[in-house]
Amino acid sequence: MIDFANVCDAVAATAAKSTKIERLAGYLNSLERDDLVAASRFLSGAPLARKDDRRLAIGGRTILNAARHVWAFDDAALGRAYRDSGDLGEALGALFGEPPVPSLFAERLTAASLAALLDEIASVAGRAAAKKREFVCERILRACRVNREAVYAVKILTGDLRIGLREGLVLDAIAAAFGREPQSVRRAAMAAGDVGAVAVAARDDRLSSIEIRYAAPIGFMLASPIAFGSSYRELAAGTWLVEDKYDGIRAQAHKCGDRVRLFSRTFSDAGRAFPEIVSALAAQRGDFILDGEIVARREGRALPFRYLQPRLQRVDPSEELRSEVPVAFVAFDALAVGSSFLIDRPLGERRAQLAAALEPLGALELAPWQALEPDAPPERVHELFEAARLRGNEGLVLKRTDAPYVPGRRGKWWLKLKRELSTLDCVVVAVEWGHGKRAKVLSDYTFAVRRSAESDELLTIGKAYTGLTDVEIATLTRWFEAHKIAAGRHGFAVEPAIVVEIAFDVIQKSDLHLSGFALRFPRIVRLRPDKPAGEIDTLERVEEIYAEMLAREGVAR
Ligand code: AMP
């Protein structure tokens, strides 16, 4: 694993894509078959193949316990090392003690031998499983001869190399290593669900014979948000179709013979929580891989996501729960039908294949769509939007009819149009001078939520730079200067009285702010002069939105 560690360090040290690919290609080309399989998987961040149903189920605690046995260190040293890097692999690498004296029987870590040990970890079951995993983990760490090897062994165990490498780059490197077309390597990887197998097929010039591996999840294609507005320049090129944006759980359905699998966006199994969807899929003729959304439905109308939550928390739901929250899988794309792998076919063709392959029955539906006329005015888009909302859906997804299915990518082929559903009302607690054009105004606001309805303790949750008009910013600058309470490095704390409504993409746990949460892409939607600071949102509301978001992504994990 020393060569693996060296190549990873070299990849991390350069931002140039071409250099990364060149270094990786040279390394992959030098490997024997089993090492090639394992190293390709590790590089793409997967300790096991994507098609493998098993999980490593190894947490930081197990790794730490094992590491303590091997390199005896105390918690203070670990704390310091972790704070320096924020990465468990780097932290443990820094604590790497003297390597054991090599003996004739000492294990040596190669990509293939590490893969075999990971396989042992993934196969552990039954009583004392945690202890057995820890033991194998200890064997892995003991086999490390130099600290960089240990760093990467730990990173592989945690499933994240953090060296600026995406699977796409690894596939390009495989193509470069064996002189194949990047497109055919990518396609084969999608079909096979295992970068390792694809690397060997590329080496042996067998890419075209790779078969669709049903029951191995494929990355989901994602949509980019567009702003609800008075014009839609994004739609100027190409022809588009419009679907409702369902407020449910994204899922990929695989049916091959009598085998049915339903995967969530995190590739976890969603089938056991939704048996009626699985049986509706099983009743279909033919084999396919479909993309769609699981929605809660009552009397033909979509129910908001929160209705799905009780279903998510239950595997094998009771009859009662099933009739209380009826669900359906609404299919909107076909990735494979029979032996045809469709991801590089245009959407128009995939939709036609979908309609031909699927017989809507029971809990299985075909997503209705409409063609958007070329140069359709914004009023037409809004009309479709309102109609979708009346059906209980969140908004629209607009898709270019000539688009391929691009797994794992948020591109401009699919656009989502919605109005923010959950925003937070927060109070501004500190302000800073802006930059450039805004250097003379206080345009950067730190805002907070209340600890609870009873307590008026304010807990910061984020900082936003944009969203208000120049006039609003100028007026507020005067107000903030008059209501300064304490000076800071770049700005100052202000009386908490200005309430702003904040939209955001995601809530994350974070030590950065007092609330313990941070918002991704926070933006000020509007000022709320109508709302007193005593009535802003609370930490509890933040936790609620966070839990809802996790449930939506995690599906029966
Ligand atoms: P958002 O959750 O707002 O980031 O929106 C992206 C999600 O919209 C996707 O991951 C899907 O789960 C969901 N979605 C709902 N309806 C559709 C649709 N018709 N086509 C594609 N994605 C959809």
Ligand 1 centroid–CA 221 distance in Å is 9
CB of residue 308 inside a 6 A radius of ligand 1: no
Q: Is the pLDDT of residue 82 over 70?
A: yes
Ligand 1 touching residue 290 (CB < 6 A): no
DSSP conformation class of 415: E
| Residue 264 alpha carbon to ligand 1 centre in Å | 12
CA distances from 368 to 110, 244, 404 (A): 52, 8, 19
Question: What is the per-residue pLDDT across 247-261, written as a single tens digit (0 to 9) for each?
Answer: 888 999 999 999 999
* Residue 15 lies inside a defined structural domain of this protein: no
Residue 186, amino acid: R
- Atom of ligand 1 lying closest to residue 250 CA: 12
241 & 381 share domain: yes
* Cα 227 from Cα 311, distance rounded (Å): 32
Pick the last residue of a domain from 412, 447, 475: 412
Asked if the structure places residue 235 within a domain, the reply is yes
Residue 131 forms part of a structural domain:
yes
Testing ligand 1's pocket by substitution, the residue of 226, 245, 354, 384 carrying the most ligand atoms inside 8 A of its CB is 245
| 171 in a structural domain | no
Could you tell me if the CB of 157 is within 6 A of ligand 1? no
| Closest atom of ligand 1 relative to the 414 alpha carbon | 21
Whether residues 444 and 396 share a domain: the answer is: no
Query: 556 pLDDT band (50/70/90 cuts)?
Result: very low
Q: Which residue has the CA at smallest separation from atom 20 of ligand 1?
A: 397
Q: How many angstroms separate the Cα of 275 from the Cα of each of 133, 286, 329, 333, 377?
A: 32, 19, 11, 21, 43
**Is position 297 within any domain?**
yes
Average pLDDT over residues 54-80: 86
Cα 461 to middle of ligand 1, angstroms? 26
Residue 467 pLDDT: 72
Q: Do residues 369 and 498 share a domain?
A: no
Residue among 226, 246, 414 whose CB has most ligand 1 atoms within 8 A, to mutate: 246
Cα–Cα distance measured from residue 415 to residue 245, given in angstroms and rounded to the nearest whole number: 10
Residue of minimum CA distance from atom 12 in ligand 1? 250
Which whole number is the average pLDDT over 289-301?
Answer: 90
Last residue of a domain, one of 126, 158, 190: 158
- Residues 282 and 153 placed together within one structural domain of the fold: no
**HEC sequence for 95-109:** CCCCCCCCCCCCCCC
Domain with 95 in it: what CATH number? Answer: 1.10.3260.10
Q: Determine the average pLDDT of the residues in 18-23.
A: 96
Q: Are 378 and 444 contained in the same domain?
A: no
Half-sphere exposure of 61 (CA within 13 A, CB side): 3
- Each residue of 121-162: pLDDT tens digit? 998 887 788 889 999 999 999 999 899 999 999 999 988 888
Q: Which of 158, 185, 206 is the last residue of a domain?
A: 158
Mean per-residue pLDDT of the chain: 89
Number of domains observed in the structure of the chain: 3
Catalytic residue, candidates 155, 245, 255, 418: 245
CB of 250 sitting under 6 A from ligand 1:
yes
| pTM > 0.75: yes or no | no
Q: What is the DSSP string of 508-540?
A: EE-SSSTTSEEEES-EEEEE-TTS-GGGS-BHH
Statement to judge: residues 384 and 279 lie in one domain: yes
Whether residue 28 is contained in a domain is answered as no
| Pair 402, 431 in one domain | no
Let me know if residue 215 belongs to a domain. no
Distance from Cα 537 to the centre of ligand 1, integer Å = 27
**pLDDT in the model for residue 268:** 84
Residue 293 is assigned to a structural domain of this protein: yes
Q: Is the CB of 311 under 6 A from ligand 1?
A: no
Report d(CA 169, CA 33) in Å as an integer.
20
User: How far apart are the C-alpha atoms of 131 and 116, rounded to whole Å?
Assistant: 18
Any idea what the CATH number is for the domain that residue 453 is in? 2.40.50.140
Instruction: Identify whether the C-beta of residue 251 lies closer than 8 Å to the C-beta of residue 394.
Output: no
Give the CATH number of the domain where residue 400 resides: 3.30.470.30
**Rg, C-alpha atoms of the chain:** 26
Query: Does residue 280 share a domain with residue 330?
Result: yes
Q: From CA 350, how far away is CA 367, in angstroms rounded?
A: 13
Q: How far lies 328's CA from each of 274, 295, 296, 509, in Å?
A: 9, 5, 7, 32
Active-site residue flag, 437: no
- Does 416 sit in the ligand 1 pocket, CB within 6 Å? yes
Residue 246 Cβ < 6 Å to ligand 1: yes
Closest-lying ligand 1 atom to the alpha carbon of residue 244:
19
> Which two structure tokens, joined as six digits, stand for 184?
């055919």
| Residue nearest atom 18 in ligand 1 by C-alpha distance | 245
Q: What is the pLDDT of residue 557?
A: 34
302 lines ligand 1 (CB under 6 A): no
- C-alpha to C-alpha distance for 163 and 42, rounded to whole angstroms: 12
Q: Give CA–CA dist 390/484, Å, rounded.
A: 47
DSSP labels, 59-98: -HHHHHHHHHHHH---HHHHHHHHHHHS-HHHHHHHT--P
Which ligand 1 atom is at minimum distance from the Cα of 243? 19
User: Which region among 266-270, 314-318, 333-337, 472-476 has the lowest average model confidence (pLDDT)?
Assistant: 266-270
Q: Which of 250, 389, 555 has most ligand 1 atoms within 8 Å of its beta carbon, as the pocket-test mutant?
A: 250
148 and 270, same domain (yes or no): no
Are 383 and 257 found together in one domain? Answer: yes
Could you read off the pLDDT of 216-269 as tens digits, one per residue?
A: 888 889 888 787 776 788 888 889 999 999 988 899 999 999 999 999 887 888
**What tokens does 47 get?**
């300790």
Indicate if 306 and 351 belong to the same structural domain: yes
Count of CB atoms situated within 10 Å of the CB of 135:
16
Structural domain for 490, as ranges: 423-553
The verdict on the CB of residue 293 being under 6 Å from ligand 1 is yes
153 lies in the same domain as 298: no
